[in-house]
Amino acid sequence: MTILMKKIILTLCIFLTVSLVPAQHRLLYQSFTDGGRDTTLTEVLQLGNRILIHAAGAPPANPIPGMAESSTYIIYHDNGGDSIIAQLRYPDHTYYAAYPMDGHSNYTSEGKEKVNGYNCEKYSIVLFSNKIELWVTEDLKFRATPASSFSDLPGVLVQYRRNGSAITRLQSVKKMKNIAPLEGRQGESVTTRQLNQIEKERKIITRPIFEDAQICFNPKLPKPTAFPYDSVIRCANGTLIVKRVKMDRLPEHYKVFAEVTEYSNGDAYDRTGSIFIIPARKAISMLQALRDSVEVLPYFSDKQGSAYQGMVRTASYDPPVELIRFFTPFGVRHYNQYRSLDDREWANEVRYKQDVSDLLPLMDGDVYIGAFIGNYDGGGHKLSLTLKAYPEGDTWEFDDKTGYIVEPLFNTCNVMEMAGQNYGRLFGTDSLTVTFTVPENAEHLELRFITTGHGGWDTGDEFVPKENTILIDGKRYYSFTPWREDCGTYRASNPASGNFWNGMSSSDYSRSGWCPGTATQPVHVNLTGLKPGPHTLTVAIPQGEPEGGSFSAWNVSGVLIGHYSK
């Protein structure tokens, strides 16, 4: 064989080898809001008829718990029916894989446009009431997309826009060499819905506190002598439970929610409930009252001489801090079988879920969490409480340049009612006044204020709107009337509610800031602008007069929240 022939054969082999190597590209997409700053980058690797979609860049050096490497593989087939594999890979070497449905195909063609230098066909589609516009080019001679929902587009997705503002745009296309095979490592096979749920749930920090704990009246129950960790301790004749837990500090970007489930275990009535934290950093705390007597708490007297124990902060005492004020419905679950309605079925339980993120600094270290339901029933109620923390960032980092203000000021919700703590009846003759101090460099200062009126007869404050007024340093600062007119919405949770001749049920009636079966939302009173130094805060309410053996009362609680620069 001549030298010339050998060169020709060698050249032909090289040509054939190069021709058999599939095209390889790296595509970078940028997602942002029109007119806003950049948000995320997505990388798409293309090897022949396969692509890999994942977040661009290195993962954070100190990620939050539960972070996974998330990837989507798409294998394009000439005859359609493209294969899609979504995968999660965790640091503990657990993998999950799902096979989502193919992309959508009911696009509307809107003609040709040039975008980012590419000749594109424009398409549109409406998904879940969102208008999606897509620009696709076939100039690159391969297919690629940053979102598996659009895997069936005929070329490379250059840009898509949602509702005219949220944009994902192709920023660069680079030819590559030696991209590793895009096979898609396997894992435990799950559905797409399960995969999404796994990815979300593993990022959530879940802390169960109480599980089906009974809260009932038992006068023979001994007082607690200690509060060991992770034990449910029943106090105040069984109507208050406490658990001491060790909690880790969370980065400030986490959002924390308290989730409560409650149902009747024998009590038929709507009762005041409270989920709270017992501060134990000062010389006196409610823990001492639970062990000994409510009389160990500091108290003040109204003009009638009635004593109100443990309701206002002092130099040596902090009142309990409410996470949730809630109200049980009339006998849900336990009394479902005794009555029926033609137009609905009774609920089996009630659920309350409330954002308590502004109290996050209190949920760090040694924490005492309590739950109270006022009742005199031997069966009482069953309650579960879980705290869930949801990340809003992907790094486990703390802001050490900011100090956080969470100062308990007052709480007249008498969670030790069945151990002798008085009702908040002081507003009939007095107002409630407390002093507090605004630190230097305070920002976003607020009063987190919860208020509900009580007095369960026709002219009692439960059923009569009453204006609540906040005074700062003796001057009227904020006022509103707490009132709920949507109580009839929750009829299905109130099987034991009294029914009247006019067709209404007791649970239907409007009330002073609450309904049976609901949680009362805090009111945030903006205090930003107060000068650093001491101030007084006063709560004034025109409480109604007693009638016979009945009286009105107001459960109000207040916490000063905010932050300052260190």
Q: Quote the CA–CA distance of 331 and 517 in Å, as a whole number.
A: 10
Residues 195 and 209 in one domain: no
Q: Reply yes or no on whether the pLDDT at 6 is more than 50.
A: no
Residue 13 lies in a domain: no
Tell me the HSE value of 20 on the side-chain side, using a 13 A CA sphere.
Answer: 6
Name the burial class of residue 45, with classes exposed (0-12), middle (13-18) and buried (19+) by CB atoms within 10 angstroms of its CB: buried
Residue 21 pLDDT level (bands cut at 50, 70, 90): low
Residue 183 predicted with pLDDT over 60: yes
| Better pLDDT: 4 or 308 | 308
Q: Per mean pLDDT, which range of 13-17, 197-201, 297-301, 556-560 is the poorest? A: 13-17
Question: Which of 270-279, 298-307, 485-494 comes out lowest in average pLDDT?
Answer: 298-307
Averaged pLDDT of the chain: 93
As a whole number, mean pLDDT of residues 459-472 equals 98
Give the model confidence (pLDDT) of 192-222 as tens digits: 999 999 999 999 999 999 999 999 999 999 9
Give the integer Cα–Cα distance in Å for 347 and 335.
11
Tell me the average pLDDT across 12-26: 59
In a domain, 90, yes or no: yes
Residue 320: pLDDT over 70:
yes
Q: Provide the pLDDT for residue 19.
A: 45
Q: Are residues 234 and 106 part of one domain?
A: no
Judged by average pLDDT, the poorest of 1-10, 19-28, 295-304, 321-330 is 1-10
Confidence of residue 3 (pLDDT cuts 50, 70, 90): low
Q: Is the pLDDT of residue 536 over 50?
A: yes
In a domain, 71, yes or no: yes
Of 200, 224, 239, the last residue of a domain is 200
- What's the rounded mean pLDDT across residues 549-560? 97
Read off the pTM.
0.90
Distance CA 333, CA 492 (A): 11
Q: What is the CATH number of the domain that holds 366?
A: 2.60.120.1570
Domain-located, residue 15 = no
Residues 279, 253 share a domain: yes
By residue range, what is the domain housing residue 321?
A: 204-565
One domain, residues 141 and 240? no
Residue 501's pLDDT is 86
Where does a domain end: 200, 217, 245? 200
Q: Please choose, from the candidates 244, 276, 369, the residue with its C-alpha nearest in 3D space to the C-alpha of residue 559.
A: 276
173: alpha, beta or left, given left = phi > 0 and alpha = psi -120 to 50?
beta
Domain count, the chain: 2
Which tens digit of pLDDT belongs to each residue from 239-295?
999 999 999 999 999 999 999 999 999 999 999 999 999 999 999 999 999 999 999
Domain-embedded: residue 525: yes
The C-alpha angle 402, 404, 408, rounded to 5 degrees, equals 170
CATH of residue 60's domain is 2.50.20
Same domain as 244, residue 119? no
Residue 11, in any domain of the structure: no
Strands 95-98 and 188-189, how do they pair? parallel
